[in-house]
A and B are shown apart, each in its own frame.
Chain A
Amino acid sequence: MTPTGQDTLVRVRGLRFAFGPRLIYDGVDMDIARGKVTAIMGPSGTGKTTLLRLIGGQWRPQAGTVEFDGVDVHRQSRDQLFELRKRMGMLFQNGALLTDLTVFENVAFPLREHSGLPDRMIRDVVLMKLEAVGLRGAAGLYPEEISGGMARRVALARAIALEPALVMYDEPFTGQDPISMGVLMRLIRTLNEALGLTAILVSHDVQEVLSISDYAYVIAGGKVLAHGTPEAIRTSQSEMVRQFLDGKPDGPVAFNYKTSRSYAAELLGDGAA
């Protein structure tokens, strides 16, 4: 059942977004429940990251609205938008750590910019956040000295430094070894339960994501294909959802990128067509 009223932290209505001629979203509705982990799944290139950038107000939709805690994200001034973003955390696919700062300074960055806390208190908060992601020992290292999995955990510590209401995870499991993946999954769930954070988890790692989500959306071709509890998604009989969940190359979702030229014509020249 879709969350309603006060239970909804992010409400997306009639979202339409295109990159030039390429339509990414065509009338998408979504509700992200407060205090829950909501998964957004879909094949590569369906615009899952785009959705996070639209929610964060980095990009503007051509039509439709995105509300965060009842406030229309795209009708805010720059300063108002920045105020809203203090209540959002985002974990980028590559971590997006500042390469000229140490791990410690990266996590301290949002605190130094916004909290006005004295250095000693910032130090304690940073150490606590780093301890939560198991990287207190790496505080003095630079991003180039840590692995990709560690970088994502540091980015997670930074994303939760200001204790936001919402954390958006962009493909947190891509390229992770099983240990890092397990650690990240546990962390996401623990943060949600311990701090009451609302989480949006964008991924195409179906089983992992469904195992830690409370609710899930499957998107493809600019539309929401299905949404519901992980159990409802797993047992969905929709052909498109099944193709995605079971990883079948053939089905309603095309594996091949659209082209007007036939394979034979392309290989043998236009005369063979």
Chain B
Amino acid sequence: MKLARILTEFLRGLGEATLFLFTIVAALPQALLRPRLVVQQLYMIGMLSLVIIAISGSFIGAVLALQGYRTLSQFGASSALGVVVAFGVIRELGPVVTALLYAGRAGSSLAAEIGLMKATDQLSGMEMMAVDPIRRVIAPRFLAGVIAMPLLGSIFSLMAIGLAGGYLIGVLVLGVDDGSYWSQIHQSLHPRDIGESLLKSLVFGVAVNWIALYQGYHAAPNSEGVSRATTSTVVVSSLVVLALDFVLTSFMFR
């Protein structure tokens, strides 16, 4: 009985969230007509997430280089370090870790912002001023978030493979040949890999922003509601990103 209630509740929530997504998508053309709002949000949720993404990318690239070098050097294949780092980052870690970090940094802040706007009657106030909050508040944030994710994912990958990550540790610290590092990447990495990485980021961008905005918009209008919305955003987004990654990777491996 309880299980049936939980299942019904879950399906109801899923249906409500799907309708919410349709409403956002229907409002996107209007959001595109007001690029200033989108750019503002790109700064708030994209630009301000840049530091954490870049630093994390550097550390993950560095760790991959250390671990990869240790294994590869046992087989005398340390010159292939660039490929190991590049594949690991571009195919998996770049989009996935970026999405997880984004959920924690920008997703939670989106949910809290929208939840508080609801709790303080700002959204109701807009409705009473004949301004649709979905068009004015939600759609520009959604669009900015979806645009930001592939860009952040790319920056993460760049930092991890080159600059401060894999290159720094592999080439400058561990002494892997500079030319081999880059040429192996150049030969092994296909544009398709980059395309799939961007596609993953795009899908994660839709998922995380949808979840964050839905949680905020449907939060109970009080402090506990906002707190729940923020927590749910991070938990649900993280699980959904990992599950989607599995599904997408299975399709891409075919």
Which chain A residue has the least Cβ–Cβ distance from B113?
Answer: A100
Contact A83 B130 (CB under 8 A): yes
Cα distance, A83 to B132, chains bound together (Å): 12
Those 5 A-B pairs whose CB atoms lie nearest each other, nearest first = A96-B125, A96-B121, A85-B130, A82-B130, A90-B128
A162 to chain B, nearest CB (A): 8
Which chain A residue has the least Cβ–Cβ distance from B136?
Answer: A113
Q: How many A-B contacts at CB < 8 Å in the complex?
A: 53
Cα distance, A113 to B127, chains bound together (Å): 12
Give 27 A-B contacts (CB < 8 Å), ordered by A residue: A53-B124, A56-B127, A58-B124, A78-B132, A82-B132, A83-B130, A85-B128, A86-B130, A88-B128, A92-B121, A92-B128, A93-B121, A94-B120, A96-B124, A96-B125, A97-B122, A98-B122, A98-B125, A98-B126, A99-B117, A99-B120, A99-B122, A109-B129, A110-B129, A113-B129, A155-B125, A162-B129
B134 to chain A, nearest CB (A): 10
A contacts with B: majority SS: mixed
Contact A114 B125 (CB under 8 A): no
Contact of A56 among B120, B128, B136 (CB under 8 A): B128
Cα distance, A53 to B117, chains bound together (Å): 17
Interface members, chain A 185-226 (any B CB < 8 Å) = none
Interface members, chain A 153-167 (any B CB < 8 Å) = 155, 158, 162
User: Which B residues are in CB contact (< 8 Å) with A89?
Assistant: 128
Contact B129 A94 (CB under 8 A): no
B248 within 8 A of A: no
B175 to chain A, nearest CB (A): 51
Contact A92 B127 (CB under 8 A): no
Cα distance, A114 to B126, chains bound together (Å): 12
The interface bits of chain B over 97-141 (1 if a CB of A lies within 8 angstroms of the residue's CB, else 0) are 000000000000000000001001110111111111000100000
* Chain A interface, number of residues (Cβ within 8 angstroms): 25
User: Which B residues are in CB contact (< 8 Å) with A82?
Assistant: 130-132
User: Which B residues are in CB contact (< 8 Å) with A88?
Assistant: 128
User: Which B residues are in CB contact (< 8 Å) with A96?
Assistant: 120-122, 124-125
User: Which B residues are in CB contact (< 8 Å) with A110?
Assistant: 129-131
Which chain A residue has the least Cβ–Cβ distance from B44?
Answer: A100
Which chain A residue has the least Cβ–Cβ distance from B119?
Answer: A94
B141 to chain A, nearest CB (A): 12
Which chain B residue has the least Cβ–Cβ distance from A92?
Answer: B121
Cα distance, A109 to B127, chains bound together (Å): 12
B38 to chain A, nearest CB (A): 15
Contact B121 A85 (CB under 8 A): no
User: Which A residues are in CB contact (< 8 Å) with B124?
Assistant: 53, 58, 92, 96
User: Which A residues are in CB contact (< 8 Å) with B127?
Assistant: 56, 58, 85
The interface bits of chain A over 94-110 (1 if a CB of B lies within 8 angstroms of the residue's CB, else 0) are 10111100000000011
